[in-house]
Amino acid sequence: MHLQQLVIIEATLKSNSVDAFRNDGEHHYSIKEIKPESQMLALFDKEILISLSDSDHDVTQIQNSFLSIVLTANVQFDNKFDGYEEAYKDGTVLFIGLKSASQVIRKYTIYHRGRTIDGTLQNESTTEQFIYNTVKPRSEKNNRKHIHSLYETIHKYDTSACGTCVTIREIEETIKDQVSVPYTMPIRFRLSIPLDDILIFSGFTDYPNSLFGDLKIQFKINPNAFVFAQVNPIISMAKYYTMNKTDLMASGPDKLKNIDLLFRNWSLGYQYTKQFTQMGCTADLITKISIEQKTDSGLKNLMCSITPVTLSIKNYVITEVTANMSGYKATDDCLQRVRDFFANRPFVVPSQRVEAWSFPTSAITTGIRTSQNIPLSHVTDLCLLFPKDARATTCYENPCYHNIQVTTCGRNFPDMPMNTLDQQFFQMQLNASNLDLLFEATDEFEDALTTPRNTASR
C-alpha cells in the first residue's frame, strides 16, 4: 500500500517537472566573465548595467554566480592616530568594510530582454539585504569567506572578512602631512557578491537563458553601507609578532621589550567600542598607546587613550565590475523537452522583496506611539528598525523599550506588551528568525537583542 502510494507520488512529481539538463559529453561547465555595458570608470553615484548570461551557456546557474566589484574610496578621519608608540604601529589595526557584500548595492532593477521586470525596481536595497542577511545562521556566514563579516571574527583579526584591514602606520603615513580636518586616505576594496545573496535572486537556480533570453541588472553603490571597527590590539599585535618574529629580533631588544610591555599590562577595562559602527557615525576608538618612563631605573607604564572618532566616505570610484556567471551547454533534445514543457506554462521563479516605510514621527528616549497606513499584500514578515542615528543603514541596537506592541488590522503583535531586553522577547526573536534549533545565531545578532549600549561620550 505504501509502496504503491510512493510510486504514484513519484510519477506525479515527474510529470510536473523537467528532466535534469544533460551533457552530451562534448560540452562542459564553465565560468564566463562578463564586463558591464556601462562605461568604466564609474564615478560617484553612477549606475552600472551588466548582463547576467553569456551566449556560450545554454543554462545559467544563478545560484553559483557572483558579481565582483573593485572600488577605491576616499575615507575621512577626524583623528590622526599619531599618539602610538613606534613598536605598536604595524600591529594595531582598523577594519573598514561591509557586514555583507550585497549591502553595498543601494538600488537595482532587473531587465529581461531589454524590458524592466515588473516589481524589480528596489530603491531600498541596502535595507533589504540587511534584513535578509541578518537572520542567516552563523554557519552560513562562516562558510562564505570574504562575503560576510562577523564582529566576533573581526575582533580576533580574521583577514578573510568582507573588507580591508589598515594598520595605524598606514593611516599615519598617509595623513601625517594633512592639516585640515577631516583627513583623507584612499582605500581599495574588492567585493564578491553572490547573486543568491540578493533577496530577489534567492529562489533562482538554473535559468535556461538560450530559451528565455538575457537577464541584466542595473545597480548603484551605497557608500553609507560601509562599517568600521577596531581589532583587538592584543590579538593583532600577537599575530604581527608571530609573523615578523625574525625581523623584530634582528631590530634589537627595545622593540621586543615594548611589545612585551603591551602584553603584560593590557587591561580589559579599556572601553573602546567593541562592535561595528556605521560610516559617518562616531565610535570610541583607541587613538593612542604610548609608554611613559616612570623612574630613572627604567620602570615603564603603558598609557592608553580612548577618543570619539568619526569615519566617513567622501567619494569613491568603481574601477572594475565583472559578472562571473556559471553555466553549461545542454543537448538539443534536452532543450527541446524544456521548450515543449514551457510551451503552455510560464517560467516561474519564487521571489521576495522588502518595502521600507518610515513612520511620520521619530522614536525618542521615552518611547514612540504612532500610526501609519501601509497597504499589505502577500506579506510574510514585518520588521521594525529603530536607527540610533539617521545615517545608520546596517548597524542597529536594541531600543531598550518597555511595553512595545504593534497593532495591525486591529490585532496586537505580540498579544501582550513586551520588554525588548526581556528573555521572552529574545526567545521570540530567535523563533521568528528560525535560529532556535539547528541554526545558530551570530554573536552580533544576539548582542543586539540582549545588550543595552551606552558609551561615556554619547
Among 15-19, 71-75, 196-200, 260-264, the range scoring the smallest mean pLDDT is: 15-19
In tens, the pLDDT along 145-173 reads 889 998 888 988 888 889 999 999 999 99
Of the candidates 278, 225, 219, the one whose C-alpha atom is nearest the C-alpha of residue 67 is: 219
- Dihedral sign of CA atoms 267, 93, 301, 299 in order: positive
Which residues form the domain of 62? 25-344+352-358
Residue of higher predicted confidence among 270 and 9 = 270
Q: What is the pLDDT confidence band of residue 454, given thresholds at 50, 70 and 90?
A: low
pLDDT at 20: 54
In tens, the pLDDT along 102-146 reads 999 999 999 999 899 988 999 999 999 999 988 888 888 877 888
- Rounded to two decimals, the pTM is 0.86
Mean pLDDT of 34-49: 84
Residue 267 lies inside a defined structural domain of this protein: yes
Instruction: Tell me phi and psi for residue 5, to 5 degrees.
Output: -65, -40
Q: DSSP states of 91-143 as a string?
A: T-EEEEE-SBGGGGEEEEEEEETTEEPTT--BS-HHHHHHHHHHTS-HHHHHH
d(CA 287, CA 444): 24
Mean pLDDT of 297-322: 90
pLDDT at 224: 93
Residue 458 lies inside a defined structural domain of this protein: no
d(CA 269, CA 209): 58
pLDDT at 9: 56
Helix orientation angle between 253-265 and 233-243, rounded to the nearest 10 degrees: 150
Mean pLDDT of 328-355: 86
Q: Are 27 and 328 within 8 A, CB to CB?
A: yes
What percent of the chain stands above pLDDT 90? 43
What percent of the chain stands above pLDDT 70? 91
Residue 31 lies inside a defined structural domain of this protein: yes
Residue 119 lies inside a defined structural domain of this protein: yes
Residue 435 lies inside a defined structural domain of this protein: no
pLDDT at 451: 74
Residue of higher predicted confidence among 15 and 286 = 286
pLDDT mean across residues, the chain: 85
pLDDT at 3: 41
Cell numbers for 22: 544533460
- Alpha-helical segments (H) within 266-416: 332-341
Count CB neighbours of 433 within 10 A.
16
Residue 383 lies inside a defined structural domain of this protein: no
pLDDT at 167: 96
The number of distinct structural domains making up the chain is 1
Residue 5 lies inside a defined structural domain of this protein: no
Residue 395 lies inside a defined structural domain of this protein: no
| Omega of the bond leading into 350 within 30 degrees of 0 (cis) | no
In tens, the pLDDT along 195-236 reads 999 999 998 888 999 999 999 999 999 999 999 999 999 999
pLDDT of 52 over the 90 cut: yes
Mean pLDDT of 288-299: 78
Residue of higher predicted confidence among 314 and 335 = 314
The amino acid occupying position 428 is M
